[in-house]
Amino acid sequence: MKKSYIPLFAVAFALAGCVTNQTGIDLPFLSSIPDEGKYIDTVAVPEIKPFSAEEIHQAKLEVLANSKGIAPLGGLQDYAQTVLDKIIATSPEPTRSVKVYLLANASAGAMALPENMIFLHHSVFNYLQSEDQLAFVLAHEYSHVILQHNPDSLLRSLRPYLVTAVDVAVSRSGGGDQTRKAFQLYGSDILTRDLLLPVWDRADEREADHMGVDLMVRAGYNPTEADRFFEVLDKYEQQYDNLFQDTRNQLEKQLAAEFDATQKNNDNALLNQVLTEFSDALTSLQDKFADRHGEAKERAEAIFAYNMREYSAMRRTSVQTQNFTNLVKANRDILHKYDVANGIMAALQKEDENIDFRALEKEARIAVSGDTSTHPYVRWAFANLREKQGERKKAIQNINLVKSEDYLPLPFEIKRAVLQDSLGETDIAVSRIEAVAAYYNWPIEAYEFLYPRVKQSGNSVRANELVMGCTVRYPQQRALCSGMRGN
């Protein structure tokens, strides 16, 4: 019998580091986490990759284009930066400069960009309980940066579908008010979260968890708070998802109806293509998120075992709660107003008959009072309320009151333009969105807004330029871009 050398080659290949473990599960020879010793002592950190100021600026703009902007909560952001700087000082790359930003978003989330930026949702100050937990979140994200992990590009390719394909499909399939309501998730924190957060490889997550624990301990934090972090995160996510559960159910029901083959319009090939592509994309997205949610417990267990093995003594060091609690207390009113704004957005997604507009208006006034009067997050909620009440001018006024150095976050600009257009101020809206589009590097929402209006104005040259531009920038959305031509 001929002896097979395949297993030997496979083992040699794996040991040589040519095969990576994509499962995140401890497989012999494949896991990057050592069986003994600290991960930080065994991993080779890649050399720092330089980024130009323009690259950093563009990467930041991409986040802003998908969000409701940076939360102007300077004290909290500075505090997070101080904690991160402590972590960096004892890390393998103490000279690297990484900037922390607080994104206005009530859902749980944090993300790292390779361009030395970390974005935390402001909600971390609602559900975290100690500086040590904050240190773990920051150390985990910072680990992605220094290990130069590359997030899955799935969401980036899906984003244009999520933003526009549903909208186009629904409008073309003659969906009524009911359908429109189902898609009001766009603009809510939950969809913004899904659009923004990168999907990391499971093995990358494990590496960032272990490196995160190593880094937080080096900076003097208690590693057991990493374990606790998974607990509070899970609890908060459940509460948060419940807040939007009605809308989610409604959305899923509506999507199921739209994607039901029997209800497709056989005469409209474009619509069918968009629906099919979006359906496939959505399924992948849901699988990814379900996977992420399910593995939290597994990750907590791995970290617990690692702490018992490597940081037995450090488990009994003090947890730093004082500064964290004091700062949260000092910002209590503002954080409360953000909670109120989020509650308004959740209430607006319910059926009309259940909405108590008077009560919501009262809450919205509280949310935009005092320190937060120019904050994008609370003004967004008030603008949405006004729009729902049919008070379009007042909705625009709320957006106009948002303080911003440059352009407003993209959803604000688009909403204001749509409202202006509905009030007959199309020229102003088109002119503004042309500038906004150039600033944000031509997101697909800009094409979607501009094309029909420019075409209607009789400027066919510019209309054709828009279709061409859309097709070049979003080749995967060729059908959608060409569909604009048929409007």
Binding-site ranges for other proteins (CB under 8 A): 125-130, 222, 224-225, 227-228, 231-232, 235-236, 239, 300-301, 304-305, 307-308, 315-319, 321, 325, 328-329, 331-332, 335-336, 339
Burial (0-12, 13-18, 19+ Cβ within 10 Å), 465: middle
CB of 133 to other proteins, least distance (A): 9
What distance in Å separates the CA atoms of residue 452 and residue 164, rounded to the nearest whole number? 14
Kindly tell me which of 149 and 299 has the beta carbon lying closer to other proteins. Answer: 299
Largest CA distance in the chain: 85
Non-local (6+) Cβ contacts of 29 within 8 A are 11, 14, 15
Kindly tell me which of 93 and 231 has the beta carbon lying closer to other proteins. Answer: 231
What distance in Å separates the CA atoms of residue 221 and residue 212, rounded to the nearest whole number? 11
The three-point CA angle 313-319-321 to 5° equals 175
Tokens, residue 424:
């007959």
Cβ proximity of 347 and 160 under 8 Å? no
The strand pairing partners of 199, in sequence order, are 152
CB of 315 to other proteins, least distance (A): 5
CB of 318 to other proteins, least distance (A): 5
Kindly tell me which of 325 and 400 has the beta carbon lying closer to other proteins. Answer: 325
Kindly tell me which of 238 and 482 has the beta carbon lying closer to other proteins. Answer: 238
- Cα of first residue to Cα of last residue in the chain, in angstroms, is 70
CB of 334 to other proteins, least distance (A): 9
**125 three-class SS:** helix
Kindly tell me which of 91 and 133 has the beta carbon lying closer to other proteins. Answer: 133
Tokens, residue 337:
């107003």
Concatenate the DSSP letters of all residues of 8-54 into one string: HHHHHHHHTT-S---S-S--TTT-SS-SSS-HHHH--PPPPPP--HH
In the chain, the amino acid numbered 203 is A
CB of 331 to other proteins, least distance (A): 7
Phi, psi of 224 (to 5 degrees): -70, -15
Kindly tell me which of 273 and 321 has the beta carbon lying closer to other proteins. Answer: 321
CB of 176 to other proteins, least distance (A): 38
Which H/E stretch holds residue 93?
Answer: none
Kindly tell me which of 21 and 126 has the beta carbon lying closer to other proteins. Answer: 126
CB of 223 to other proteins, least distance (A): 9
Cβ proximity of 140 and 212 under 8 Å? yes
Kindly tell me which of 79 and 161 has the beta carbon lying closer to other proteins. Answer: 79
CB of 208 to other proteins, least distance (A): 19
CB of 234 to other proteins, least distance (A): 9
Per-residue DSSP letter, 33: S
**180 three-class SS:** helix
Non-local (6+) Cβ contacts of 369 within 8 A are 337
CB of 212 to other proteins, least distance (A): 15
What distance in Å separates the CA atoms of residue 289 and residue 296, rounded to the nearest whole number? 11
Name the percent of the chain in helix, strand, coil, to the closest 5.
65, 5, 30
Kindly tell me which of 128 and 385 has the beta carbon lying closer to other proteins. Answer: 128
Kindly tell me which of 321 and 459 has the beta carbon lying closer to other proteins. Answer: 321
